[in-house]
Structure 1
Amino acid sequence: MTVAVIDYGAGNLKSAAKALVHAASETGDKVVITADADVIAKADRIVLPGVGAFAECKRGLEALDGGVAAMREAVLEKGRPILGICVGMQLLATVGVEYGEHAGLDWIKGRVVKLTPDDPTLKIPQMGWNDLHFKQPHPIFAGLQSGAHAYFVHSYHFIADHADEVLADVDYGGKVTAAVGRRNIVGLQFHPEKSQAVGLQILGNFLRWRP
């Protein structure tokens, strides 16, 4: 199968693709970095990475000629699995409020707002390792248990409208959404490509996932 990593100028592209290639060595899937709408529409799986501000990433995505329409065709019409990473996850939301209010893809209902820990000694962004707490069973976390470590770098977080679409959270001066999911759509606030064995396990699970 073909896994399309969408290239829209949003950061951690090569490191995410490299980790996917490593995971795909066991599944035999082909990983391609692409900005081509036809490749995206025909892909068996899609990965939407992202680093930076919500609005900047959304503009980059919309600037792809036919890119968003191709994603809708693949994900919403054909039911192909998609994985959003970091800001790529946040773009799945209804709206982001970083530097103004900006519409997201609205594929998982919710808002992306500034991270405000209850503990004033905790720094923003959350940067470093944290323990995942799984809220809903999901194939992407197969073989992992709550307490698995993942690597985070973010200043904004996803507040989902529906609690059953929060797959995992972490404690950072309060509950912070770490993963969301609905049907063939899943998003990770953390960086699996920086999360060592746990991250590779999750990426491998994504490649094997049959929603």
Structure 2
Amino acid sequence: MKRIAIVEYGMGNYHSVERALRHAAPDADIVLTGTPEHILAAERVVLPGQGAMGDCMRTLREAGLQEVILEVARNKPLLGVCVGEQMLFERSEEGLTDCLALLPGEVKRFSGPMFDESAGPARLKIPHMGWNPVRQVQPHPLWDGIADGTPFYFVHSYHVVAADSTLVYGQADYGYAFTCAVARDNIFAVQFHPEKSADDGLRLYRNFVDWNP
């Protein structure tokens, strides 16, 4: 039985992720934990996150889990979700926060004329919230059984800007094209919420459980 640890550090929709994973993979041992030993003992790890980046990074460090995530990223399948994706990059404009620097790039707020009040009724609201089609920029085992252009559920004001285009595996549009899925080696991460994305979100979680990078 595969053991999957969901990292609990005080800033995430842990129980929604846990329920979705249990539904997608009833044959797996799902552990919701903030204990380093339990996370390191798991075969694969999910890093969720929500809220302000500064608070997420602070609580992760105060929980003594930053080095644990860095260790996991060296040799275990790691799935980042929402702010958990953003945390993998070098820094964020949100609070000018230093992040985990596992992937090159930064996190930026949606910006541009289409988001200004001067745009009038055509103005796009922040946060970006709701269902949005995702283009699969590159094939990946976590896309198995999920059609290109499938909508997933988003709630966010910031998005990652990867310094290396080869990291980009999914894009969506909100005023402009933005990266919403990244991958490298044993890491895969998404801006959207699979646990709020119906059957296709569950399929992505199941694909993660079966993935052997």
1:89-128 equivalent positions in 2, closer than 5 A: 89-99=85-95, 101-116=96-111, 119-120=114-115, 121-128=123-130
Kindly, what percent of the aligned residue pairs are identical?
A: 40
Conserved? CA contact 2:153–2:196, under 8 Å: yes
Matched, 1:197 2:199: yes
**Secondary structure, counterpart of 1:89 in structure 2:** helix
Match of 2:152 among 150, 153, 157: 150
Paired residue type of 1:39? H
Q: Give the equivalent residue in structure 2 for 1:41.
A: 40
In structure 2, distance between residues paired with 1:148 and 1:160: 22
Q: CA deviation at 1:143?
A: 1.1
Bigger Cα Rg: 2
1:189–1:153 CA distance, 2 compared to 1 (3 A): same
In structure 1, distance between residues paired with 2:186 and 2:149: 25
Match of 1:84 among 70, 80, 84: 80
Paired residue type of 2:135? H
Conserved? CA contact 1:142–1:205, under 8 Å: yes
Q: Give the equivalent residue in structure 2 for 1:72.
A: 70
Paired residue type of 2:128? Q
Misfit runs of 4+, over 4 Å: none
Q: CA deviation at 1:186?
A: 1.0
The alignment's TM-score, normalised by the length of structure 1, stands at 0.94
Q: Give the equivalent residue in structure 2 for 1:13.
A: 14
In structure 2, distance between residues paired with 1:117 and 1:52: 23
Conserved? CA contact 2:169–2:181, under 8 Å: yes
Q: CA deviation at 1:69?
A: 2.0
Q: CA deviation at 1:75?
A: 2.3
Conserved? CA contact 1:168–1:178, under 8 Å: yes
In structure 2, distance between residues paired with 1:38 and 1:117: 45
Q: CA deviation at 1:168?
A: 0.2
In structure 2, distance between residues paired with 1:165 and 1:15: 27
Q: For structure 1, which runs of at least 5 residues remain unmatched after alignment? A: none
RMSD between aligned alpha carbons? 1.1
In structure 1, distance between residues paired with 2:32 and 2:68: 15
Q: Give the equivalent residue in structure 2 for 1:166.
A: 168
| Residues 12-43 of structure 1: per-residue CA shift (max 9 Å, x gap) | 11001110111111xx2110100100011111
**Secondary structure, counterpart of 1:198 in structure 2:** helix
The alignment's TM-score, normalised by the length of structure 2, stands at 0.93
Q: CA deviation at 1:118?
A: 5.2
In structure 2, distance between residues paired with 1:75 and 1:29: 20
Q: For structure 2, which runs of at least 5 residues remain unmatched after alignment? A: 116-122
1:48-63 equivalent positions in 2, closer than 5 A: 48-63=47-62
| Residues 121-166 of structure 1: per-residue CA shift (max 9 Å, x gap) | 1110000000000101110111112210100000001000011101
In structure 2, distance between residues paired with 1:46 and 1:182: 15
